Amino acid sequence: MPFKHFTEHLIQQLIEKIMTIYKILLLSVTLSFFTQGSYSSELQTMLVKSQAMPVEHILEGTIEAVKQSTLSAEISGRISKINFDVNDPVKKGGLLLHIRDNEYQARLQQAEASLAEAEANLQDATLEFTRAKDMFKKNVISESQYDRANATVQAAKARVAASKAAVAIAKEQLKHTNITAPYTGIVIQRHVELGETVSPGTPLMTGYSANELRAMVDVPQTFIEAIRAHQKARVILLGDNKSISSKSLTIFPSADTQRHTVRVRVNLAEGLSNLYPGTLVKVAFFTDTSQRLLIPVKALVQRSEVNGVYMVDTEGKVKLRQVRLGHKNDNQIEILAGLVSGETIALDPVAAGILLKNQAGNAQ
């Protein structure tokens, strides 16, 4: 290899090594900035202190629909059409099913024909009475003939009224051949099949309105007075542990003589999702307040079954301390042991953990 080419090759290798070392140094400085400077100087902390926390008595309850009903047949007939089934959403006024209406159409036509005949007879009787009235004034007919003409008019009017009532009944019966939804909701049970013959009182469909729900709870009578005084509760959903505040409470005026409990309705806001009638829930009734140590849930550190928080002393040093937890209230949780009022904790466990690792490395 010529000397010139050999020299250029060595220079090229030297430049590549210098660039590699530069990139490594740049990466080290960047990591140092993010792990030390950024977190150590901007670590968010809070001073732990006692706060007023509600005292709650938690009981099991059951979700039920405010509007739930079973529609029954009001006439006799055969089911000729079924438009909805279980789990189908239905809007108010939607046609659920239809009962064969040929007979009821014929009854309505017959009643309307009878009404037309009665009105014609009334018109004829009225004309006869008008003539009889004029003749009676001229002493052409007797009083008894005048009275008969008047009675004929009154009888004709009665037949018209009866015919109108028959038409109204026929229209109402025809109306009952269409079974419609009384409110917007969901079908939860269908009691009949297509072609089945029903009679008045036969259950047809059951549904409920998902827009209005409440929780029913049997409360021991020892807690009723406190619940009555505060009128506040929240429904805790099993599984995701989310809670829903009550809109109002309805406390029944009597107690169960066997179990000595009082039934309470926990009324909820409209339009809630992921709640279904029959669902088991926990209901926390507010009965009092007390001073407790509360910290944000986001400040907790969980290591297997151990819970802890990162403590920050006056010199800015971080250490991990185990704590014992109490009740959770929205985004805050009670600390039963491991902390005292006046201590400082880190709000960002990730940043505090990196800072603790850096402090341990610097100490070595």
Please write the tens of the pLDDT for every residue from 135-150.
Answer: 988 888 888 998 999 9
Residues 189-230 pLDDT 10s = 999 999 999 999 999 999 999 899 999 999 999 999 999 999
Considering the four listed CATH numbers 2.60.40.10, 3.90.226.10, 1.10.3660.10, 1.10.287.470, the one that applies to the domain covering 101-176 is: 1.10.287.470
pTM across the whole model: 0.62
Asked if the domains at 72-99+180-211 and 101-176 fall in one CATH topology, the answer is: no
**pLDDT for 77-120, tens place per residue?**
999 999 999 999 999 999 999 999 999 999 999 999 999 999 99
CATH architecture of 58-66+212-290: Beta Barrel (2.40)
Q: Could you tell me the fold of the domain covering 72-99+180-211?
A: OB fold (Dihydrolipoamide Acetyltransferase, E2P) (2.40.50)
Q: How many other C-beta atoms can be found within 10 angstroms of the C-beta atom of residue 74?
A: 18
Instruction: Provide the H-helix boundaries in the chain.
Output: 3-32, 39-42, 102-137, 143-175, 221-230, 349-363
For residues 255 and 263, what is the distance between their CA atoms, to the nearest angstrom?
Answer: 7
pLDDT at 246: 92
Tell me the C-alpha distance between 14 and 349, whole Å: 44
In the three-class reduction of DSSP (H, G, I as helix; E, B as strand; rest coil), residue 272 is classed as coil
> What's the rounded Cα separation, in Å, for the pair 4 and 193?
99
Domain spans, the chain: 45-51+292-363, 58-66+212-290, 72-99+180-211, 101-176
- Smallest Cα–Cα separation from 191: which of 209, 177, 204, 200? 204
206 vs 64, 65, 87, CA distance in Å?
14, 12, 11
d(CA 151, CA 129): 9
Structurally, at CATH architecture level, domain 45-51+292-363 sits in Beta Barrel (2.40)
Q: Residue 311 pLDDT > 80, yes or no? A: yes
